[in-house]
Every structure is written in structure tokens, then in C-alpha cells.
Chain A
Amino acid sequence: MADYRAMWKDLGMNLEAHDMLLDFLGKYYADTFLTQNERPEGMDYFNFVMSEVHGLRIKELMDQKAVGRKVIGAYCVFVPEELVLAVDATLVGLCAGADYALDQVEQYLPRNTCALIKSAFGFKLGGVCPYLEATDLVVGENTCDGKKKAFESLGGLIDNLYVMDLPQVKSEQGRALLKAEYIRFKEQIEELTGVTITAEKLKESIAVVNAKRGALHRLAKLRGADPAPISGLDALLANQIAFFDDPVRFTASVNTICDELEKRVADKVGVFPQGTPRILISGCPMAVPNWKLPAIIESCGGVIVGEESCIGERGCRNLVSTAAESVDELIDGIVDRYFKVDCAVFTPNRERVEHIEEMFQGSNADGVIHYGLQFCQPYLMEAMDVEKKLEDSDIPVLRVETDYGQEDVGQLKTRVEAFVEQLRP
């Protein structure tokens, strides 16, 4: 790896702490991913992206910034990448999946805040996230109460926070709010970049994002085969990388791996033997490097065949229509697409269970593991109803509540292993 220390220093990062983090991340990645059997060759690209996740990719962003391109960071799949690309800016995901600087975080957030939110603060307070430091605008969003209130505090830590309001009900008024907020966001980023969005430009960027979602869907569909042609860990990794890689290059890389997987499916080649119990994960998102539960599942004799999650199907379901001529109509198409996102902050959110059942059938799964982050009220509360409805449809469910800590790995392993045993014929 090239020496990026000068760049990190310029970004105001804490070099010593960051070295330790990268060291940990490198080892954790190697232990979790590189030890897997029968990995598709196409994963080499993703290995490379991960090895340069704080290096080359940041350098690319900095080089683009040097010629005037802006970087916008977001913590939620409700922030439309289509609009960001249309002002010639780059969108990066800022969610983090590791505990960091917890002692400092707890000066800003109560201890019983979910790990995802705490992690975002930890990476800022610890000075170890180059993506956050490279952004020209950070978009927070009013989803759950935890995030809403946390953004109030985050506003005191960074000087470029913009908060997007979001509806919580799928009503006419809710849709109108989402549209108004997307228009307000469009104006904000037009001002930031000095670029005015045209219909032509917006159509182009919609096509780019549609292609990305299309590629991820192609990948998701291939996982329906038995034996599974790719591990759940590797497929999750691709979905995670979707949040910070260049979208066009990423799409091409996903399609390359899909070509390889198609051949595997035809030849009945898999990463685990045919008949391995197949698990659909449903619930909270898993941001890099939160590979805890998937690693447990796939070391306990199961294979993950889908993620009903923001980093997964919820983030890439449905495409935006390009069958429109004006910017306003195109934005309507964007609103239509995002308004269908079945996040647990919505009430009611009945379509989510339908989507889980659809995914269960489509991925030929044998059981569902519902993953709720501790203190994530919306998903934990929904989990009870999801479990009941799925069991009414004779779908086995294991409800797991955990966080980024490692102290419950032993118990989780027993529960997951017993669930996998239960799914075996």
C-alpha cells in the first residue's frame, strides 16, 4: 500500500489511532474473508477495494476534490444518489460498524444508544474516518429518534451538517414531504456545487444508479441457487462496498462477478455443499466492519442467501423511472422509488413482512434470522410482529439482538448453530 500518511494528516486525522484501526481491520478482514473456501475470483476486486478502503479510494476523492468535485456523505439509504451525481458530486456512506472511542462517545450520547449511532460518533471523535473528514456536506436524516437527536449533537462536532426531514407515514402528505425535502436537498447541493440539475443530467445519473442497483439485484438473484455460488459474507461485502466505491466501476465489478457466478450455477459449483441450510438475514443494516453475525452463521454450518436490510435488498429494491422529460417529473420518479423503502421508522410498515416472505421464497431460504441492534427500537419492536407473521407462514425464525461487542459471541454461536440444526432435514 502506498503511503497515505500525509493525506490523512492533511485531513486532520489521528494518525496513531488510525494506524491501529487499520491494523485491526486488516487482520479481521483476513481472518473473516480470506480464510473462506472456493471464493469466486471476482472477489479479488473487492479484496483490493477493502485493502485500499482508507487509502486509494480516499486519494481518488481528494484528487477529484482538487479539481472541484464535491463529496457528500450520508448515513441513510433515503439520501438519493441520483441527485448527488446530477450535480457532479460523489456520495459516500458514512455508517460505521465498529465500536470506537466509546468513552468519548458517552460524553455525547447515553449508553443505551444503538451501536450504529455510537460508532458514527466514535469515528468522528477518534479522528479515524477519512470519508467523514473528506466530505463537503454531511447529510443527516430524521429517521429514528436516536438518529434525529444524535444529529443535533453531531451538529456541534462538524460544521457541514445538513439535516433532511423524512416522513414516517406512507400517506399523500408523507409523499409530499419527501418530495419537498428532495427539492430542498437539490437546491442545497446545487448551491454547494454551482451546478444546476438539468433533465438530461438527471436522466444520466438515474441510469448510473439504476445500473448499480440492477447489478446488485443480479447478484442477489444468483444466490437463489443451491449450492450457493457465493458466500453471504462476500455478497454482504459487495453490498457494503456499494456505499463508497465509484458507482460505475463498482457496477462493472459486480457484473463481472455475476458472470462468473452464472457459470458456477450452471456447473453446480458452490461455496458450501448442496443442501447447506440457507438463511435469510432480516433487520438492521450491517456496515463495514460489522461482519459478526454473518461470520458466526457461516461458521456454524449455514449459508446466508440474502439480506433484507438497508445494506442489501432494502437499499436496492426498485429502480427509478427514466420515462419522463422534465426535472420535476424525474424527481417524482425518484420520490416514487424512495417512498417505497420499507424502513421500520414507518408506521404502519406492513409491506416489510411481505418483502421478507418474497425474499424467503426467491432465495430458496430455509429460515430467517432477524437481526436487531440492541436499543434500535423500531426494528426490535417490529421483530416481534415479523416473527409471529413469518411463523404463521411456517417460516422458522430466530430473533437475535446484539451489538458490535464480542462478549456474546459464544451464546450467539450456540443459538445460531441450534437454529441451523433445526433447519436440517
Chain B
Amino acid sequence: MRFAGIDIGSRSIELVVIEDGEPVEVRETPTGHDPMVGARELLDGVSFERIMATGYGRDLFEIEFDAADTVTEIKAYARGAVALHPATNVILDIGGQDTKVIALTDKGRVKKFEMNDRCAAGTGKFLEMMGRALGYELQEFGEQALRGSNEIVINSMCAVFAESEVTSLIAKGIDRRDIALGLHLSVVKRALSMINRIAASGALLFAGGVAHNRCVRHLLGEHLQVPVHVPDQPQHVGAYGAALLAGE
């Protein structure tokens, strides 16, 4: 039997269809201004027994598509992470506008979680805005940051304030790769403080779109001193987890 999971995030929508627990169809599209348009596009021509929606657009999806169930990103990520990497104790998900840390029990259930409230400080959106301020494409931002040699301390977590801070650093003639490194470090430090707040320890699975960023991965590994596992498609963990839950 085929089951589907759809993760409607702030920046992108992912669809994963599974058969016998294995992905048979994986699709992705930017969220845009009307997430339901993207969702419909992704579902075009896909067949499944049941679908589970997650992500911030899950409730809207449930209204649009009667047959859908919903689950929070927290539970979906936990389910997906455990299936992908059974040794996972902690999940860090840095997505478009949320950062989440989820501590799991020995049985892979959610023990405790922490999520950023209100603002998108320290999320993918923050990196995207800062990359733009430095004139980098999203894909090259992390690569360039890895080439930075001096760690510049960025104090502002708010994207608006950080942008002015970046502007003044540029005006001082500081190498933009160093600034980029500093910005990545500030995102990592924020994630670390969330991990510490819930006293999460053990093997970490890094998920969400930002897990593609090699600089964030590198800095995380350096600071955590625990194994950091990044799945092949870190942005699909939620949709995959939702698909598994749809089948349970």
C-alpha cells in the first residue's frame, strides 16, 4: 500500500510517497504565496491510500483536501528521523522560519522539544537574508563562509539588526567571507543554546533545508563533539515521517 506525507513549510513544500516503508516518489516545490497551489501541483498524478499533512500549512491542507490527516512537524520529524537513522537521540531541524530541537526517548518518542518563538532569528530565512546582504547566492553562501578565517562575532539575532551590523562590518573593509563565517556561527550558537536548554545529548540528526549548508554542518560538528548525521535529503525528513505516520 502506498502512503503519502506532505510537509508544507514556509519556504518549500515536500511530498514523499512510500510503499512498504520505502520512498517511491519524492517531489518538492517552493511554497509561494498560495501554498495550496503548490500542494495541488505536487499531488498531480500521484496515487496513495492515505495522506498525512504536516508543516505550518497542515490545517489549510486539511480543509482543502478532506481525506487528509494532520500531525505537527515535531512528531513527523521524530518519526522520519528514527526511520532514517535509528540511533538518533536528538533532532535539530533548521527550516525556513523555524528552528526546532527534539529530544527523543529510547523508544524514539518525543521526550521534549524546543522551538523558536515569534521571530525567524537563527533560521534559514535569516541566512538567506544575510547571504543577500553580502551579495551571495544561497548555494554559495555556506561554501564561502567555510573559507573565512577570522571569526567575526555577530551580536544581533534579529535579521533587521544583523543586516545593519553586516553593513557596518562591510564598511570597515572586513572580508565578506569572515562576516559570512560569523553569521553562520551565530546561527549555530543559537541552535546549540536550544540543544542545551532541553539538555539534549547523544547522536544528532540534522534535518531541514539548512542542513544542506556545509558551513553550518561543519561548525555544528566542531562545537557539539557528538556524531552529526545528515540524511541525503534533510529537507524531506518531515514529509517522510508524515508518510510513515499515515501508514500507521
Q: Residues of A with Cβ closer than 8 Å to B?
A: 391, 396, 401-402, 407-408, 410-412, 414-415, 417-418, 421-422
Contacts and interface: CB of A to CB of B under 8 A. Distances in A.
A418 B74 contact: yes
Interface in B5-63: 56
Interface stretch (B110-118, B132-140, B155-163): B110-118
A411 B75 contact: no
A411 B117 contact: yes
Given A421-B110, A422-B110, A414 B117 contact: no
Nearest to B111: A422
Contact of B73 (A407, A408, A414): A414
Contact of A414 (B56, B109, B110, B118): B56
A131 to B, nearest CB: 32
Contact of A421 (B75, B115, B116, B118): B75
Contacts, number: 42
B98 interface: yes
A391 B116 CA distance: 21
Contact of B115 (A391, A402, A407, A415): A415
Nearest to A396: B112
B91 interface: no
Closest 7 CB pairs of A and B: A418-B74, A418-B72, A422-B110, A417-B72, A408-B118, A421-B75, A414-B72
B117 A421 contact: no
Interface residues of B, number: 16
Contact of B117 (A391, A401, A417, A422): A401
B71 A414 contact: no
Nearest to B115: A415
Nearest to A423: B110
B160 to A, nearest CB: 15
Contacts of B118: 407-408, 411
Contact of A408 (B56, B110, B111, B117): B117
Contacts of A410: 56
B83 to A, nearest CB: 17
A414 B75 contact: no
Contacts of B113: 415, 418, 422
Most buried by B among A402, A412, A414, A417: A414
A263 B118 CA distance: 43
B22 to A, nearest CB: 25
Nearest to A384: B197
B110 A411 contact: no
Contacts of B115: 411, 414-415
Contacts of A415: 113, 115, 117
Given A402-B117, A411-B116, A414-B72, 16 more contacts: A401-B117, A408-B117, A408-B118, A411-B98, A411-B115, A411-B118, A414-B73, A414-B98, A415-B113, A418-B110, A418-B113, A421-B74, A422-B74, A422-B111, A422-B112, A422-B113
Most buried by A among B75, B111, B118: B118
Interface of B: 56, 71-75, 98, 109-113, 115-118
A403 to B, nearest CB: 10
30 contacts: A391-B112, A396-B112, A401-B117, A407-B118, A408-B117, A408-B118, A411-B115, A411-B117, A411-B118, A414-B56, A414-B73, A414-B74, A414-B115, A415-B113, A415-B115, A415-B117, A418-B73, A418-B74, A418-B75, A418-B110, A421-B71, A421-B72, A421-B74, A421-B110, A422-B74, A422-B75, A422-B110, A422-B111, A422-B112, A422-B113
A414 B98 CA distance: 11
Contacts of A412: 117
A422 B117 CA distance: 19
Contacts of B71: 421
B89 to A, nearest CB: 16
Nearest to B56: A410
Contacts of B109: 422
B245 to A, nearest CB: 10
B224 to A, nearest CB: 22
Nearest to B77: A418
B63 to A, nearest CB: 14
B58 to A, nearest CB: 9
A329 B75 CA distance: 57
B194 to A, nearest CB: 12
A407 B116 CA distance: 14
Contacts of B112: 391, 396, 422
A422 B72 CA distance: 11
A412 B110 CA distance: 17
A33 to B, nearest CB: 21
Contacts of A391: 112
Contacts of A414: 56, 72-74, 98, 115
Nearest to B70: A417
A401 B110 CA distance: 21
B76 to A, nearest CB: 10
B197 to A, nearest CB: 9
Contacts of B111: 422
Nearest to B71: A421
A421 B112 CA distance: 11
Contacts of B56: 410, 414
A415 B99 CA distance: 12
A97 to B, nearest CB: 19
Nearest to B98: A411
B208 to A, nearest CB: 14
Contacts of A396: 112
Most buried by B among A391, A410, A417: A417
Contacts of A401: 117
B24 to A, nearest CB: 27
A410 B75 CA distance: 16
A412 B72 CA distance: 11
Nearest to B116: A411
A402 B113 CA distance: 17
B52 to A, nearest CB: 13
A408 B97 CA distance: 12
